[in-house]
Amino acid sequence: MGELANCARCDKVFVKTNKSICPDCVREDEKQFQTVYDFLKKRENRQATIPEIVEATGVEEDVILQFVKDKRIRSTQFPNLSYPCERCGEPIASGKVCENCRNELTSDLRYQNEIEQVEQKNEQQEKQRAKTYYTRINND
């Protein structure tokens, strides 16, 4: 059974299932989605940008961006729909970060991994040295 929760959008108490918003807000979301989709499915509006969609439909930019991020509106079908990379702000059509940021993060992770491997190797060598006994021969 679901648990009681406050709607993330309107703060109304509701029985939470798999969404964090109440049924009224879900209906409002669907209504806004349908408004945006109806606008975009017209041939002359398929090249519209997000500001143009906001102006024509009255639906807030954040809501439209969420539709794109949730892949309810696909940027492959509507090529001018993009949203900012969460790291640098460059416009992207899918994912959370752009290709440049993804490459940079991958490179940083690879470099950090190499550092950790060198540190482990040094630790092992130090442990090995600690286990080795040396004798000193005095030739007097």
89 located within any domain: no
Distance of CA 138 to the CA centre of its chain: 68
Supply the DSSP string of 24-83, one letter for each residue.
Answer: HHHHHHHHHHHHHHHHHTSGGGTT--HHHHHHHH---HHHHHHHHHTTSS-TTTSTT--E
pLDDT digits (tens, 9 = 90+) for 43-86: 888 888 888 999 999 999 888 888 888 888 887 778 788 788 88
In a domain, 40, yes or no: yes
Number of domains in the chain: 1
Is there a domain that residue 56 lies in? yes
How many angstroms separate the CA atoms of 120 and 114, rounded? 10
Q: How confident is the model at residue 133 (pLDDT cuts 50, 70, 90)?
A: low
pTM listed for this prediction: 0.63
Residue 139 in domain: no
Tens-digit pLDDT profile for residues 11-45: 899 888 888 889 999 999 999 999 999 999 898 88
Range of the domain at 47: 23-81
In a domain, 55, yes or no: yes
Residue 88 lies in a domain: no
